[in-house]
Structure 1
């Protein structure tokens, strides 16, 4: 049975059981005022000297208002192993996402741990070539931590879950608690109450494996909705065998907001489901009101143009969508061309490391 069919059988056969066993954090006290720390960066050098400043043209964060000269840096700890330092945003919660920027050959990146050190936030990143061998690789990374409700427009929520599906930390823009369920063998269900549009699915989902001690890949296997409640089904595989395997993971849902949740600024952000070539309306959003253009450019390759969003410092993340062990990365770093943000390409691979067509959730933001 394929992973997609197995996942479908799981949902159809034991959906109520999963909901019944869903893990919900304890009820919180009255919501605190809304606050947030966040940052994004691009690690441009696969073998950076210790303390290397990450690409200044592709990084920004909430600290820059108070500390405009301080920049995110990276340490290279060994083959495929890095620690990113976001200054002045130390926190014990939050979530991160990372996407490999591969150049040549199939590869992916995942998260290790993240934690405060003094006033800074450190995020561990581990990158692998296909087959699970650690590999020095460029990558894009984003981190965010929020508290308190968010005003309209849009919806936003995230979850950091362990390999058993238990929530480590989470956020929901409505103030409601998120929930998770474990379906066995690397299958998970995440519920984000109230963040959807109320009819159908809309928005973008990013998922990243978060497993410090083993190579893992995680993706969005499927989505569902009930009223304004959004459901995301996550599947994870072993990085060596590409077979289903339990893994910690992070998941961020964002609708009419950037991947780190903040707006106004930024005012320029968008997302799209690539690989379908005619994206579903709810998965195709551009804050400038301009079109997002998805262009097939080869087997497993898709160029994505975010019209009018390529201004000042920008950022992109990618997550594969659908059942099976296929995964997606960035073939090269994105560029601002005129006022457009251009990704060339989103590139996807199957369980043998061969390029293969696969849908992907793609998100892009400017700091402006």
Structure 2
């Protein structure tokens, strides 16, 4: 067996990469109508891979994309996706899995009417095993089950405990993160599958030592529906466990300008974030000290109705602009959660 192993090593190509590792990656997919099946490399300012490799994006059909993340080809982790731009389109993570030492993340994007649509989007991935702090994620993969423990490969809890999911009704779920409960922090949710659905955060709060996060999922027309989703909870770090980072819970949807609640906002540079409203459903999130000429932004709507939100753009001079809509695509004021990471 040793001789065979030595022989295999001798035959390995000089360009072979090390075994895939845990890590993180993100992209801004900024070429929505790229030629079919032709990979492109997103701007390095808005694309990162913790292994140092370059990510790429392939358009495989109308509203269908594959994000390729080299050297991160392990089973597990979690993914979030947010549609980008001034339209009312939305995007889901359809699936993710390793292809050799590469991780392929499949994304689907839709109009409010349910048609697949070419659009820009952001996507983030993390696979971690580092304990400590308050951080957890799940892939909720059994949408009609009453209560279950999410698949161990696709869940994480920084206390080492196992997370569980309970269905309270059609499209209504509670995710329980043991031992990391706090009346604080940040949540992101993304619908999963090649399905016409959106998911959002209804609320989150501590229950004893556990953190409970309630999720609502809807059809694109706004009716509650059972569907799979991904969910991340964090406190005092980004959804990728990286820095610099900032997040905020935007809980005053009709205020002209305000400071989000201290417990539900974070800025790794030590500054205070602010939010201004620039029209119905149009908001700017100011995150002083953050390098907004780079990085990744994820947005999820908050509340029990079917309104949804997305990132319009982000720049150092304008902050992060967020747009929110009714299910039918009309601009709408609503609560949301916004996250920046680099």
Give TM class, smaller chain: 0.7 to 0.9
CA distance in 2, matches of 1:124, 1:274: 29
Match of 1:84 among 51, 64, 67: 67
TM superposition shift of 1:129? 1.1
SS in structure 1 of the partner of residue 96 of structure 2: strand
Residue matched to 1:259: 239
SS at match of 1:92: coil
1:89 aligned counterpart, secondary structure: coil
Q: What are the within-5 Å matches in structure 2 for residues 117-132 of structure 1? A: 117-132=99-114
Cα offset, 1:248, TM superposition: 0.4
Corresponding residue for 1:56? 44
What runs of 5+ residues in structure 2 fail to find an aligned partner?
A: 1-20, 253-257
Deviations 1:247-281 (CA, angstroms, capped at 9, x unpaired): 1000001111111124xxx2x21110124244222
Runs of 4+ with >4 A deviation: none
2:309 matches 1:328: yes
**Is the 1:148–1:175 contact (alpha carbons within 8 Å) kept by the matching residues of 2?**
no
Q: 1:100 aligns with which of 80, 83, 90?
A: 83
Secondary structure in 2 aligned to 1:54? Answer: coil
Query: Aligned to 1:205, what secondary structure does the other structure show?
Result: strand
Match for residue 45 of structure 1 among 9, 31, 51: 31
| Equivalent in 261, 271, 274 of residue 293 of structure 1 | 274
Pairing 1:224-235 to 2, within 5 Å after superposition? 224-235=205-216
Contact 1:310 1:342 in 2 (8 A): no
1:159 deviates by 0.3
Gaps of 5+ in 1: 1-34, 65-69
**Residue range with higher mean Cα deviation, 319-328 or 161-170:** 161-170
Is 2:204 the counterpart of 1:223?
yes
Tell me how far apart the structure 1 counterparts of residues 282 and 130 of structure 2 sit (CA, whole Å): 39
Equivalent position of 1:158 in the other structure: 137
The reply on whether 1:116 has 2:98 as its aligned counterpart is yes
Q: CA deviation at 1:149?
A: 1.7
Question: What is the TM-score when the length of structure 2 is the normalising length?
Answer: 0.86
CA contact (8 A) 1:181 1:189 kept: yes
Equivalent residue number for residue 164 of structure 2 = 179
What is the DSSP-based 3-state SS (H/G/I as helix, E as strand, rest coil) of the residue aligned with 1:348? strand
CA distance in 2, matches of 1:128, 1:312: 27
- Which structure's CA Rg is the greater one? 2
SS of corresponding position for 2:201: strand
Q: Is residue 354 from structure 1 mapped to residue 330 from structure 2 by the alignment?
A: yes
Contact 1:164–1:248 (CA under 8 A) maintained in structure 2: no
